[in-house]
Structure 1
Amino acid sequence: MELRHLATFTAVAEEGSFTRAADRLRVVQSAVSAAVRNLERELGVPLFERTTHRVQLTDAGRLLLPEARRTLAAAAGAREVVDQLRGGLRGTVRLGMMQAQRASAVSVARLLAEFRAEHPGVEVELRVGASAAHAADLRSGRLDLAYLALPTGSAAGLDLLPLDAQNMPLVCASDHPLADRAEVELGDLADETFVDTPPDWGNRIATDRAFAAAEVARTVRYEVGDLGSLIDFVRHRLAIAFVPPSAIVKDVDLRLIPVRHGPVFRTSIAAPADRRLGAPARALLATAQRQASADALATEPPSTPQPPSRPGS
């Protein structure tokens, strides 16, 4: 049984498509089909059910997939040991980045710059997408690490390293009836019209969960794919919105209103909980953890000096 056949089988299983697997492996589709046929012939069972519309694992394929992943991980570990003996870490890390990554405590560029200085032999492949999509890709093996903005309850099967948390204010036009309020509650917003991002974005998930917890329904009339457009809809009085404060530029035409028990935008870097990361991904995660610890120390308020105690007191 050849490792390349197992790698091809795993790619088809994770992508759900021979075409996408070929793109991922950077080979022609006929090579992917041939590798899978060879593996099926060797094992004596079909691994995929093929139709004109989709590719699905058979029962045998579902049993083989976790074993194939473990075998490939063991082989990668062996290569990593040899690479380190040769004088440096090598390999590739697949890192997911959010489409609107504006948390004040998160800088992908800073992370990659420090990591490249430490490990110049490691390539980092960036994939931009929504938080929920990255979570699914981590679970399936298509990503090694990813930045996410998901509540803990939406991150089953993942280990999260929290990086930043922002209470999202309500954003409305300066002449909106709520603009002069010092604070609002979610129940005050039941009859309002909202603009928001697609349902798989982190800030949308956090907002939907907050309204569900408060048992308040809301109307999202507009869905847009970037925070700049979302704020523009608010500025032109089409709707109101919840936006992480780090994404908002000060504007006299906008009002930011605190919300009691409102949504919280939490940014984390996530790894799959059910499999061991390769050495390059572990090294990148260690760099992220080190930066997060340094940032936390830098933002801690200074301790208040205590007056010296008097003798005998």
Structure 2
Amino acid sequence: MTFRKVAAVLSFTRAAAELNYAQSSVTSQIRNLEASLQAELFDRLGGRIQLTEAGRRLVGYADQILALVEEARAQVPGGGEPAGTLAIGTMESITSYRLPPLLEMFHHRYPRVQLSLRPSLCAETCQRLRQGTYDVGFMMEAETEHEGVETEVLVREPLVLVAAPHHPMAGPAAGPVTLEALRSATVLAAEPGCAYRDLFERELSAGTAEPFSFLEFGTIEGIKRGAIAGLGVSLLPQITVAEEIAAGELAVLPWEPPFEVFTQLAWRQGKRLSRELRMFIDETVRLVREEVPARSA
């Protein structure tokens, strides 16, 4: 496992942090492995490392060994209480607005299963799943098929364009919002790599010579506070602004995005699912799909 982690992230320091080992332990394990195989697995290039030819060949065998370990765990779970750690890649909008009921249920029902949430955007989550760094990941994207990754679509996430009620684009007298009007407005958005922000940017930049310029915020909470203060308009998942809309702090503007995004659960293709991971997937599908009709009622 240590070799595969170092090979995935190409850093002894980062591998040690993700495995929760001391760096000296990781270095020692790799040196012992190289000594037993009588081959150098990594080229040390100053502060950087890269796989040697022997290291690249060993990656395939390491993947097979880890797959067999996963298969054994899945097929021989024993009668003990579910336990262990699941590394979960996720994004802010899902963590804050979709996961709390699931996390609460899992904490009470399976107290020995530790859920380790790792903030990451969709492309990074896919990469980490393929590398084996994450056990499972949540994504919000338009695409529902990803190379090397199996996905379960949980729910379509409606997107709404919002602004403060006193914004010039809000109110019945403002009329329908057009792309031309949006291109002239201040638009608040998350960082690049967020699927719905990138799709929105594509719409706003279509037919123009330069990419559209957003006023970027690091968090959804920051975007909402900025919109409430009248700084501009923003396109966000409806679930993230439902409370502010109900409270009259934000108004939904009459613009329908010509694209959709879906919240998805994903894991590495061909991965042998442990008992704990299978339970997590099943409970996630059940709880999210139960919650959506309740929110819509």
Q: Please say if 1:62 is aligned against 2:62.
A: no
Question: 1:136-177 CA deviation, whole Å, 9 max, x = no partner?
Answer: 322221111122112217844322222232332222344444
Give the CA deviation at 1:48: 1.8
Separation in structure 2 between the aligned mates of residue 172 and residue 198 of structure 1, nearest angstrom: 19
Separation in structure 2 between the aligned mates of residue 174 and residue 142 of structure 1, nearest angstrom: 44
Residue segments in structure 1 that go unaligned for 5+ positions in a row: 1-6, 302-313
Residue segments in structure 2 that go unaligned for 5+ positions in a row: none
Aligned match of 1:304: none
Question: 1:191-220 CA deviation, whole Å, 9 max, x = no partner?
Answer: 3332211112344234335546x5566633
Q: Which amino acid aligns with 2:91?
A: M
166, 185, 190: which one aligns with 1:197: 190
Aligned length: 291
Aligned match of 2:281: 285
Query: Does the Cα contact within 8 Å between 2:182 and 2:204 map onto a contact in 1?
Result: no
Give the CA deviation at 1:109: 2.9
Q: Which amino acid aligns with 2:118?
A: R
Give the CA deviation at 1:10: 0.9
Match of 1:85, SS? coil
Query: Does the Cα contact within 8 Å between 2:88 and 2:116 map onto a contact in 1?
Result: yes
Give the CA deviation at 1:182: 4.6
Output the TM-score relative to the length of structure 1.
0.78
* Alignment CA distance shift 1:116-1:73 (3 Å): farther
1:121-160 correspondence runs (5 A)? 121-152=112-143, 155-160=146-151
Output the TM-score relative to the length of structure 2.
0.82
Aligned match of 1:207: 200
Q: Please say if 1:48 is aligned against 2:36.
A: no
Query: Does the Cα contact within 8 Å between 2:91 and 2:139 map onto a contact in 1?
Result: yes
Match of 1:162, SS? strand
Query: Identity over aligned residues, as a percent?
Result: 28
Question: 1:52-90 CA deviation, whole Å, 9 max, x = no partner?
Answer: 3322223332332232122023124324544x3343433
Separation in structure 1 between the aligned mates of residue 42 and residue 272 of structure 2, nearest angstrom: 26
6, 11, 19: which one aligns with 1:17: 11
1:244-255 correspondence runs (5 A)? 244-248=237-241, 249-250=244-245, 252=248, 254-255=250-251
Separation in structure 2 between the aligned mates of residue 76 and residue 274 of structure 1, nearest angstrom: 11
Match of 1:149, SS? strand
State the Cα RMSD in Å: 3.1
Which deviates more, 220-229 or 130-139?
130-139
Separation in structure 2 between the aligned mates of residue 278 and residue 211 of structure 1, nearest angstrom: 44
Match of 1:170, SS? strand
Q: More relative contact order in 1 or in 2 (CA 8 Å, sep 6+)?
A: 2
Aligned match of 1:219: 212
* Alignment CA distance shift 1:271-1:215 (3 Å): farther
